[in-house]
Amino acid sequence: MDLEVIRQVVAANPNFTSTRKFSLYSNFGRLQETNQVGYQANVVTWKEVLEEAVRRRAFPNALSFEAGPQLIEALSDPQNGQPMALNTVIDEMVAQKKLVPMQTFLHAKYPLLNSTWSAGQLASKVAFWAWSKVVDTDWHSGDVGKLKTVTYVAIDQTKVVAQNVLRQIKADFRQNGSTYSAGIFSFGQIKELCGMSKEDLEVCLVYLSRETNDLSYKGIVKINGDIEDSDSSIPGIKDVLAQQSVRLSVLDAKIAQYDGKARDFLRKGERERAKTALKVKRAHEKTQTEIMDQQNQLELVLNKIDQASDQVNMIEALKAGKEILAKRNKAIGGADAVSELMDSLQDEMAETDDIADRLGRLSFIDVEDELEELQAQADSQALHDLPKAQAEVRANETPVDVEAQPETQREPELILNS
């Protein structure tokens, strides 16, 4: 436990003022009945301190901390003494699912964070059963001024770190071809990949498998689907391949080393020693060749596993497609039903065309009759109105005064020679 970091966290919290410290370090648990606002303010302040201390790595692990006498001592204040209500704070954080006792978290068989439960009373029967299998259902973190020595998982920090672990696992999966074998890891492989402590990684993998169902974890890790019995051999093969890669690197260095020695001995005229160095070099080269052959065999095994997995997926996809097609074809009624439907459709379409043709002819005859009738009426009306129209034209004509016309406009007189 890093006492200096804890002191820095407390000093940086704006609520730890001289006027507030007395209340924060007092047994404010009794305020729950008389001053709910003050009670909640103190709980929230201490909650911020504990969570920030976890984030700042004040404890050996990144996702958990041990509560007990040491924690009380670390949070003590020279003027106000030991915090008297840390047990109340931790009980509240457990009830709010911000903290979970480590053993409960690791061994519960059902999701804890999606169930309604608290330290003293559990509403979910499933959660009650899971809780009761691990700890006493009357569990509390301690008493006034005292804490039981219990390790707690900090849930909010776990959520953040676990998602980062998941991203790294998926990135490695994609980098290695997204094959079946690429999605299966040993615990050690994940630990090396993420660079975490054993305790923190265990918490992350349990969280990702049980609480979010992002992967499967039962000694080995699988990111696509449930773990099968046959999957357990795959991480072993990958471990052997990794070990062989390390051995090949070492052999490369030794081969180069003895090659250099042989050359040095020859320059010095020490042929026998040069010969011995070359023999050692040849032995390393032989071992290197054998290891490379073994690697090729193991790579071939993994390739066949991936190929078989792809074939299984293909068969399952074909079966699913066949079932869908069968249902659709059954709904249609088969090819004969389609033929009958098309024949019937052609008949109905022909019948529709015939009806439309007949309706079209009837419609044309009716229109012609009406058109002839309208034309006859129009002609009769025109004959009836003709005399009246002629009279109006004559009435509107103006007589022409020949004498009044200018000379230039008069008609020339016709002179007849006698």
Q: What is the pLDDT of residues 17-55, one digit of tens each?
A: 888 889 898 988 888 888 889 889 999 999 999 999 999
Residues 82, 148 share a domain: yes
pLDDT of residue 314: 87
Question: Residue 232 is which amino acid?
Answer: S
Is position 193 within any domain? yes
Residues 284, 212 share a domain: yes
pLDDT of residue 119: 47
- For residue 169, count other CB atoms closer than 10 A to its CB: 23
Using CA atoms, how far apart are residues 36 and 46, in angstroms rounded to an integer? 16
Residues 283, 175 share a domain: yes
Residues 208, 71 share a domain: no
Using CA atoms, how far apart are residues 292 and 300, in angstroms rounded to an integer? 12
Residues 101, 36 share a domain: yes
Confidence at 406, pLDDT banded by 50, 70, 90? low
Residues 176, 132 share a domain: no
Residues 248, 106 share a domain: no
Mean pLDDT along residues 388-395: 70
Residues 203, 137 share a domain: no
Residues 305, 172 share a domain: yes
Higher pLDDT among residues 161 and 402, named by residue: 161
Give yes or no for residue 135 having a pLDDT over 60: no
Which percentage of the chain shows pLDDT scores above 70? 85
Higher pLDDT among residues 361 and 271, named by residue: 271
Is position 395 within any domain? no
Q: What is the pLDDT of residues 84-94, one digit of tens each?
A: 989 999 999 99
pLDDT of residue 376: 84
Mean pLDDT along residues 379-408: 66
Beta bridge partners of 146: 143
Which of 115, 141, 156 represents a domain boundary (last residue)? Answer: 156
Higher pLDDT among residues 205 and 367, named by residue: 205
Whether residue 73 contacts residue 25, with contact meaning beta carbons closer than 8 Å, is answered with: no
Residues 182, 81 share a domain: no
Whether residue 10 contacts residue 53, with contact meaning beta carbons closer than 8 Å, is answered with: no
Mean pLDDT along residues 277-298: 93
327-346 CB burial, b ≥16 within 10 A, e <16: eeeeeeeeeeeeeeeeeeee
Q: Computed from CA positions of residues 266, 272, 277, 283, in that sequence, does the dihedral angle turn out positive or negative?
A: positive
Q: What is the pLDDT of residues 97-123, one digit of tens each?
A: 899 999 999 998 888 887 544 444 444
Using CA atoms, how far apart are residues 366 and 362, in angstroms rounded to an integer? 6
Which of 156, 179, 200 represents a domain boundary (last residue)? Answer: 156
Residue 400's region, left for phi above 0, alpha for psi from -120 to 50, else beta, is beta
Is position 249 within any domain? yes
Count how many domains the chain has. 2
Mean pLDDT along residues 308-333: 86
Is position 362 within any domain? no
Residues 90, 131 share a domain: yes
Residue 89's region, left for phi above 0, alpha for psi from -120 to 50, else beta, is alpha
pLDDT of residue 154: 94
pLDDT of residue 273: 92
Which of 256, 291, 312 represents a domain boundary (last residue)? Answer: 312
Is position 333 within any domain? no
Domain that holds residue 26: 3-156
β-strands 150-154, 99-101: how paired? Answer: antiparallel
Q: What is the pLDDT of residues 206-236, one digit of tens each?
A: 999 999 999 999 989 998 888 888 888 888 8
Mean pLDDT along residues 323-327: 88
Using CA atoms, how far apart are residues 204 and 216, in angstroms rounded to an integer? 12
pTM beyond 0.85: the answer is: no
pLDDT of residue 305: 84
Is position 360 within any domain? no
Confidence at 418, pLDDT banded by 50, 70, 90? very low
Residues 181, 145 share a domain: no
Is position 181 within any domain? yes
Confidence at 171, pLDDT banded by 50, 70, 90? very high
Give yes or no for residue 400 having a pLDDT over 80: no
pLDDT of residue 211: 92
Give yes or no for residue 239 having a pLDDT over 70: yes
Q: What is the pLDDT of residues 263-286, one digit of tens each?
A: 999 998 899 999 999 999 999 999
Is position 129 within any domain? yes
pLDDT of residue 45: 93
